[in-house]
A and B are shown apart, each in its own frame.
Chain A
C-alpha cells in the first residue's frame, strides 16, 4: 500500500507568480484535503476534494484553487503569490469525506521571494 506522496518537495517562486503543487492519494482513498502550515503554526485547512469537486473550504481566498483527477490525485494551484503564502503545504487523503482517519504526505515547502 503506497502512502500519500507530494511533489515537488521544495519550491521557490517570485511574488505574483503562480504555482501548482501535486498530491497522489494513498491507495484506496478517494478524498484529498489540502492544508497550509506556516512556520511555527499548526496546519490550516484549505479545502477538500471528493469526486473531482470541491467538497468544503476553509478561510482561504479564491486564488487558492484545486483539482482532483479520476485517479483521485489532486493539484493545489495558487495564483498571484504573496510573501505570506510561504509555508509547508500538506496533502491528506482519506477513505471517505468525513469521520475517518486522514493520512498526510511529507509536504511541499513553498518559499515566495
Chain B
C-alpha cells in the first residue's frame, strides 16, 4: 500500500541542525523526494534520492535513506529563519506513470 507518514511539527533554534523524519510503506518506490512549501506558495523541490542510494548531500541538506526500515530523513545544517516552512516527504512509485504520494508535511519553526 501507499502511505507516507511524518511528524507534524518541529521547532529548532537558528543555527542548530534540523532533522525531519519520514516513513513510507511501498518498497517499490524509485525516487524519494523532499519538498518545501512556504505559506500560500506552491511546492519547491529541495532534493531527492534514488532508491538505490543511502545518502545524498547537497550544500546544507543531507538526505539519509534506510530502505530496510523504509525510513527517510532530511537534515538541514545551520538552520536559518528562512527555512521556516512545511516540508513534505514524498515517494514516487514505479510503474507506467508518475504518481507522487506525499506525507502530511512537517511544519518547521525556526526560532531566532
User: Which residue numbers of A lie inside 8 Å of B, CB to CB?
Assistant: 6, 31, 33, 35, 40-45, 48, 50, 55-56, 58, 88, 90, 92, 94, 96-107, 109
Q: Is the CB of B30 within 8 A of A99?
A: yes
Verify if B77 is at the interface (C-beta below 8 Å from A): no
Q: Which A-B residue pairs are the 7 nearest by beta carbons?
A: A56-B97, A42-B102, A106-B42, A104-B43, A107-B42, A55-B97, A48-B97
Evaluate contact between A90 and B43: CB separation under 8 angstroms. yes
Which residues on B sit within 8 Å (CB–CB) of A40? 104
- CB-CB under 8 A for A58 and B45, given A41-B104, A42-B104, A104-B35: no
Complex contact A42–B105 (CB within 8 A): yes
Shortest CB-to-CB span from A96 to chain B, Å, is 8
A90: contacting residue among B42, B95, B96, B105, CB under 8 A: B42
CB distance from B92 to the nearest CB of A (A): 7
- 9 new A-B contacts, CB < 8 A, other than A45-B100, A99-B92, are A35-B100, A42-B102, A42-B105, A43-B43, A45-B99, A94-B98, A98-B94, A103-B45, A109-B40
